[in-house]
Amino acid sequence: MDIQAVNGMSYEEFLDVFGNIIEKCPLITAAVWSNRPFSSINEMEKCVYEFIDSLPSSGKEGILRCHPDLAGRELTSGSLTIESQQEQRQAGLTTLTSGERETLVRLNSQYKTKFGFPFVICAKMSDKYKIMEEMRSRLQNDPLQELLKGTEEVKKICHLRVQELSKGVLLPTKL
Ligand code: 2AL
């Protein structure tokens, strides 16, 4: 899919294809529609990132809260979005030992208690060992550092989703 194809999409098609590039935040896709025509896929992504950066802290926290826990209840119950399921599987989170799952659940819970939003990391750029290490390390940060770090991870997740969509590899979740 090239940028001409993207610019030629109706609003509904654009939302169907790109509505979940930020997990469960189709409003962001709907907002960047106003910036069409895009000169490139990169420029479209840039519009998404600028929109996110323009949000107050409460908006950025809201985006983080739309992300499911890693190895959480939704993974176990099979209710993750297609994108999230693939990402968590690729990071090895579907084949955890019971001890590893308990550790992740405990660290997730400590993180949420401290910061009030979930731990977010680009799972495809990581693996289960690095994720646990990062959780332990990021638990030491202060809330503002984590808000910024989590937001940067959301952008990495978005970048990989857009790449896969434009290659036609990913069948998007329609929200
Ligand atoms: C996720 C997710 O669902 N996919 C990903 O890369 N990271 N969630 C999270 N809490 O980090």
CATH assignment of the domain containing 64: 1.10.3330.10
Written as six digits, the tokens of 44 are 């479209």
Q: Closest residue (by CA) to atom 4 of ligand 1?
A: 84
83 lines ligand 1 (CB under 6 A): no
Whether 67 sits among the annotated catalytic residues: the reply is yes
72 lines ligand 1 (CB under 6 A): no
In a domain, 175, yes or no: no
This prediction's pTM = 0.96
- Single out the catalytic residue among 67, 128, 138, 161: 67
In a domain, 83, yes or no: yes
| pLDDT per residue as tens digits for the range 87-128 | 999 999 999 999 999 999 999 999 999 999 999 999 999 999
In a domain, 33, yes or no: yes
In a domain, 119, yes or no: yes
User: Which domain covers residue 152, as residue numbers?
Assistant: 3-166
In a domain, 110, yes or no: yes
For residue 35, the CA-to-ligand 1 centroid distance in Å is 27
Domain count, the chain: 1
| pLDDT per residue as tens digits for the range 50-98 | 999 999 999 999 999 999 999 998 888 988 999 999 999 999 999 999 9
In a domain, 10, yes or no: yes
